[in-house]
Structure 1
């Protein structure tokens, strides 16, 4: 058993390392060409459709985990960017990451990655504007954040290399942890166990998976190799996607940070929104 686990871990870790390094470097180069100041101006002066699209683009090109998104959200609120756009960014930023989505396509299939991207994008936009329509903008506390770094739009190969190495230090360990957990699932957990309890078409598996994922603090990079092994072992795609989205979109550390900038009713609305997003997304994957 341990021989299979070690072999599985080494093969997964090697594949992820090569993919992650190449993709991260390419994305870092492209990010050096992105005019962040112009993007923020679009958010300040755009209509609903254009602004929602720009918020999704900004979420896509800024690879943050759920916790590191919060300071950016505070900065956007201070700049008086429309509340709906800020909420779209808050929900989309942790779950949309070009590097991780590419890994998802390589490991889980491009159809899964594309459907995941479309579904999370649509739900982020719907939830963002719904919270705005219900007047949750009034549930934002007055918070001041300083010391934020401005993004540079100059092409710099050395800077792209340094950012890649920095990303390797911060995100890569979570990827390896995910590979290790995935290899244990592959080598130690019987396929019959997963197919019996998690591989069926019971509707309640999806909301249960979404609930389990919310208290966890798992990066999307950690969940990708775990999800791959769960699916290989026979776990249904719906619950896998539900726990992936809920664990990435919300976590206890993030909720604690949100509690410092939002009043309780908005924090509760955020948690319920993440649960709804992950449950409905998992259900759509089930039908697709």
Structure 2
């Protein structure tokens, strides 16, 4: 059995790594042509619909994890961008990684990837404007976070390749962990047990998975191969996606960083909003998945 598990792990890890490098290189090359200055002007514009669209586009073309989003958030606040637009970007940036969404489409199916993208965009916009309407801008501290440097983007194949390799080095451990856990589940955990314990009747797993996802800080790169195996064995799609969205949308390290720029009430509301987004999205996947 362990020989089979080792062979499956090798091919799965090779497939994921190859896909990640190809997709990531293409994304980094395309980023060289993106007019970031124009997007920033859209973000600061008076038309809120256009500004929200700009925030989503900016989130999509700047694939950050939840922690590395924070310096850019501080920079946006320093530029006096509308609070609701900044919050839309904060919600959307970690969950709208184009490389991971493409991997999701290849591994879990394009229907899942499309629904995931639509739901995360919708909830990011609604939650961002809702927090602004509640007047929570006053809960932002007057701080400056050092270390953020804006870079001029030019088309360079070598730069795109170097960025791809750098990203791959940071993500590879999560891909390997996810592949390892996935193949162990595939080979060692009984299908019947997963299907009966975590199947369609276990609706309560959706909110539980959303809450668990926050402190675990499971990268989407790890969750995709694990999710593929769990779904193949009969686990409901809802709790899997709730765990994905919650772990990507917020994390314990990010919450600590947010505490340096947000007051406690806004940090709590942000975390609660991510859990709500993950739970509601999970239930939608649970019903239609």
Matching residue of 2:133: 133
Cα offsets for 1:235-258 (capped at 9, x unmatched): 000011011111111111111111
d(CA) in 2 for partners of 1:214, 1:223: 14
Q: How many residues align?
A: 288
Q: CA deviation at 1:152?
A: 2.3
Partner of residue 31, structure 1: 31
Q: Answer yes or no: is 1:11 the counterpart of 2:17.
A: no
Is 1:75 the counterpart of 2:75 in the alignment?
Answer: yes
Distance apart, 1:46 and its partner CA: 3.9
Give matches, 1:114-193, under 5 Å: 114-193=114-193
What's the offset of the Cα at 1:187?
1.3
TM-score, normalised to structure 2's length?
0.97
Instruction: Give unmatched runs, 5+ long, in structure 1.
Output: none
**TM-score when scaled to structure 1?**
0.97
Q: Which residue of 2 aligns with 1:57?
A: 57
- Find out whether 1:88 has 2:88 as its counterpart: yes
Task: Give unpaired runs (5+ residues) of structure 2.
Answer: none
Q: CA RMSD in A?
A: 1.1
Distance 1:46 1:14 in 2: 47
- Call closer, same or farther: CA 1:178–1:46 in 2, change over 3 Å: farther
Question: Do the aligned residues in 1 keep the contact of 2:71 with 2:147 (CA within 8 Å)?
Answer: no
Determine the C-alpha separation between the residues in 1 that align with 2:191 and 2:202. 18
Deviation string 1:49-87 (CA, Å, 9 cap, x unpaired) is: 101110000000111001001111111111101100110
- Residue matched to 2:107: 107
Distance 2:259 2:46 in 1: 29
- Matches of 1:227 and 1:169, distance apart in 2: 22
Runs of 4+ in 1 over 6 A off after TM superposition: none
**Which SS does the other structure have where 2:153 is aligned?**
coil
CA contact (8 A) 2:203 2:286 kept: no
Whole-angstrom distance in 2 between the partners of 1:46 and 1:25: 35
1:225 paired with 2:225, answer: yes
Call closer, same or farther: CA 1:201–1:151 in 2, change over 3 Å: farther
